[in-house]
């Protein structure tokens, strides 16, 4: 006969007392056992559950915290989360538990769950007026999810309240860049308006952000904003420089040329625009137009110090037309302006030789007056869809009213600068007949934008609060996109299992819902949610969902799993015949499915021993 140890006897006694409902005695037995075996985590958990039944919640908390710390220390974060979630239900107003849960979820990579818990802590401190503590939590939240724009906006606002303007400005700048990348121009403009309100010393904030994006190689994300800005104020030289740089980065030479032409329309004395148009035409190998432009703008460019650039243009033309007198004359003028006497002498010699060969006819053609680069037409400036490729409702950042200004000759019509992308191959001139017209006398009223940007401080904070509330306190909250990475899905699935084992069915259902975003485990997660519903007494709802699942296109394994869980629900509801039918169907389809054989045998044994009153009528004990 086997000898029963004292520890085994304590476990047996504890189980007997628990079955009889004598929870105090059962707890005492477990306490005696744990005094000898303090590392027995499973027995400690049973003790904690018994202490709850005895109403000794504070003592239960000590046991649960011991268990939770053990799991956390050893890297079993999901088990630790399940333990602290149990504690959170016992002590819902203890914010330290939410903080612990947030940190555990963060360590395991459960972003949405971590944000949900951090948000509870943040709201607690904000309500209590603990500004430094609430700011600290926002910083933690940003660390958990660096791509979450509502959190960043909230953090920037919090920095402002703490007079940490440098930190606030840095966060606002990052938010602005992210908004541009996501093409959220409406919110971007709100941020710019906010910056102008609180940082009056940085009036060029928007262009700092746009410039930084172009420098980082993100030219495509800033085009809409630059176009809107130019619609509002085409006299912004910085915007023209930046949009040219953006098109250059995107390798759209035709757009570069058109942008320079418009640049020159509004800044007829700007040498950068002159040089840009000439360089673009030269790159297209349109020699005649390039020479016309050089005749018109060369003197200004030399005076402005663009001698080296002019020399490069003339050399480029000379490579393709090495015996052109006009080109050699231009090179001579440039060499003279630069003070290069040797080069000047050499070019004069070449010119003389070329003139001698070509004769007076060529010389006469040189002296012919060159036509103007662009036809002389009146400039009509009004709002044009050519500047507007953004979505309806998107408007410019600022407004202006300007008096009429006399302009030098400008292009009458060009390709739609801001419409569909233009191929790098030059189009025929007849295809470029769309004017870009902006009314400089118009105040560019934009009621929709004004309604958004002229709202007061309170309205802004309300809108930020609404964004921030996207982080719901339910763990399902914050996630971009509908699909989830496999690792995330597995974590939520495992946590759901842990919650289910501890009887935390609401929490388990939430986790299985998140895990079900992974299509490969969707059916399994739905089945487990039904199991949780059944365990918390909602048999009818669980049964209905499982019955509906059977009607979908399931594979054999999934079909058996649904029937297995549905049979369990039928048994719990006392519908043994329906359960037996399903179990037999599973056995026919897959005899090796789980424990189907033992369940069928148990059902048969129970039926054999289930005597009716008629069966027992003549039964007598001898």
> Where among 333, 354, 373 does a domain terminate?
373
pLDDT score of 359: 58
With bands split at pLDDT 50, 70 and 90, how would you rate the model's confidence at 180? confident
Report yes or no: 215 and 249 within 8 Å, Cβ to Cβ. no
- The verdict on residue 478 lying in a domain is no
With bands split at pLDDT 50, 70 and 90, how would you rate the model's confidence at 304? very high
Give φ, ψ of 567 to 5 degrees.
-60, -40
d(CA 395, CA 416): 19
% of the chain exceeding 70 in pLDDT: 75
Total Cβ atoms within 10 A of residue 78: 23
pLDDT score of 442: 32
Q: Which residues face 414 on adjacent strands?
A: 434
Q: Does the pLDDT at position 609 exceed 70?
A: no
- The verdict on residue 603 lying in a domain is yes
Using alpha carbons, select from 311, 313, 303 the residue that is nearest to residue 347.
Answer: 311
Comparing 422 with 595, the larger pLDDT belongs to 595
pLDDT score of 398: 32
- The verdict on residue 418 lying in a domain is no
pLDDT score of 196: 84
Q: How many domains does the chain fold into?
A: 3
% of the chain exceeding 90 in pLDDT: 38
Report yes or no: 98 and 117 within 8 Å, Cβ to Cβ. yes
> Where among 33, 66, 92 does a domain terminate?
92
Structure tokens at 575: 């519908």
- The verdict on residue 575 lying in a domain is yes
Using alpha carbons, select from 286, 281, 358, 290 the residue that is nearest to residue 325.
Answer: 358
The residue with tokens 């399902």 is 476
Mean pLDDT to the nearest integer, 6-24: 91
pLDDT score of 381: 34
With bands split at pLDDT 50, 70 and 90, how would you rate the model's confidence at 122? very high
pLDDT in tens, 266-287: 999 999 999 999 999 999 988 8
What's CA 50's distance to the chain center, in Å?
Answer: 46
With bands split at pLDDT 50, 70 and 90, how would you rate the model's confidence at 146? very high
Provide the CATH number for the domain around residue 56: 1.25.40.10
> Where among 351, 373, 395 does a domain terminate?
373
Q: Does the pLDDT at position 252 exceed 80?
A: yes
- The verdict on residue 49 lying in a domain is yes
Mean pLDDT in the chain? 77
d(CA 82, CA 113): 12
Mean pLDDT to the nearest integer, 47-73: 94
- The verdict on residue 168 lying in a domain is no
Mean pLDDT to the nearest integer, 402-414: 34
With bands split at pLDDT 50, 70 and 90, how would you rate the model's confidence at 618? low
Enclosing domain of residue 539: 486-608
What's CA 603's distance to the chain center, in Å?
Answer: 54
Highest mean pLDDT among 72-76, 440-444, 603-607: 72-76
């Amino acid at each position: 006969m086997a000898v029963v140890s004292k520890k085994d006897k304590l476990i047996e006694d504890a189980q007997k007392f628990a079955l009889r409902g004598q929870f105090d005695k059962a707890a005492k037995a477990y306490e005696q056992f744990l005094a000898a075996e303090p590392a027995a985590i499973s027995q400690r958990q049973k003790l904690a559950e018994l202490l709850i039944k005895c109403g000794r919640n504070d003592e239960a908390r000590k046991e649960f915290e011991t268990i939770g710390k053990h799991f956390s220390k050893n890297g079993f974060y999901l088990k630790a989360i399940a333990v602290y979630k149990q504690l959170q239900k016992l002590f819902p107003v203890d914010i330290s538990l939410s903080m612990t849960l947030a940190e555990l979820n963060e360590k395991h990579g459960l972003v949405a769950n971590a944000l949900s818990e951090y948000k509870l802590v943040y709201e607690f401190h904000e309500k209590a007026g603990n500004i430094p503590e609430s700011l600290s939590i926002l910083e933690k939240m940003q660390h958990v999810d660096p791509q979450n724009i509502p959190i960043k906006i909230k953090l920037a606002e919090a920095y402002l309240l703490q007079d940490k303007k440098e930190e606030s400005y840095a966060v606002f700048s990052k938010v602005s860049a992210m908004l541009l990348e996501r093409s959220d121009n409406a919110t971007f403009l709100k941020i710019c308006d906010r910056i102008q309100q609180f940082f009056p010393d940085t009036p060029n904030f928007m262009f700092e952000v746009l410039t930084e994006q172009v420098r980082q190689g993100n030219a495509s994300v800033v085009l809409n904003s630059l176009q809107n800005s130019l619609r509002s104020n085409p006299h912004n030289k910085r915007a023209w420089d930046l949009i040219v740089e953006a098109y250059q980065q995107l390798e759209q030479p035709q757009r570069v040329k058109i942008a320079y032409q418009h640049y020159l329309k509004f800044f007829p004395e700007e040498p950068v625009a002159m040089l840009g148009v000439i360089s673009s035409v030269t790159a297209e190998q349109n020699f005649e137009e390039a020479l016309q432009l050089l005749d018109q703008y060369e003197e200004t460019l030399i005076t402005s110090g663009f001698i080296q650039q002019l020399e490069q243009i003339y050399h480029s033309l000379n490579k393709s037309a090495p015996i052109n007198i006009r080109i050699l004359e231009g090179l001579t003028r440039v060499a003279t302006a630069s003070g290069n006497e040797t080069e000047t002498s050499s070019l004069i010699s070449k010119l003389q030789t070329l003139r001698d060969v070509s004769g007076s006819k060529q010389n006469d053609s040189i002296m012919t007056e060159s036509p103007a680069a662009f036809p002389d037409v009146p400039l009509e400036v009004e709002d044009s869809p050519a500047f507007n490729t953004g979505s309806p409702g998107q408007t410019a950042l600022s407004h202006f009213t300007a008096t009429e200004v006399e302009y030098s000759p400008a292009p009458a019509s060009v390709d739609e600068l801001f419409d569909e992308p233009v191929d790098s191959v030059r189009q025929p001139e007849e295809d470029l007949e769309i004017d870009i017209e902006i009314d400089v006398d118009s105040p560019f009223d934009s009621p929709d934008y004004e309604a958004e940007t002229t709202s007061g401080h309170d309205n802004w904070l309300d809108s930020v609060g609404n964004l921030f509330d996207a982080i719901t306190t339910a763990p399902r909250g914050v996630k971009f996109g509908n699909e989830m990475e496999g690792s995330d899905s597995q974590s939520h699935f495992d946590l759901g299992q842990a919650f289910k084992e501890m009887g935390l069915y609401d929490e388990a259902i939430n986790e299985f819902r998140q895990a079900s975003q992974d299509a490969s485990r969707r059916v399994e997660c739905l089945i487990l949610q039904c199991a949780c519903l059944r365990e918390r007494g909602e048999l009818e709802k669980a049964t209905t969902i499982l019955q509906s699942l059977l009607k979908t296109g399931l594979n054999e394994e999934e079909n058996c799993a649904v029937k297995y869980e549905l049979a369990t629900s039928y048994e719990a509801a006392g519908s043994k015949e329906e359960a037996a039918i399903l179990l037999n169907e599973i056995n026919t389809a897959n005899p090796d499915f789980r424990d189907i054989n033992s369940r069928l045998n148990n059902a048969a044994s129970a039926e054999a021993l289930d005597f009716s009153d008629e069966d027992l009528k003549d039964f007598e004990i001898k």
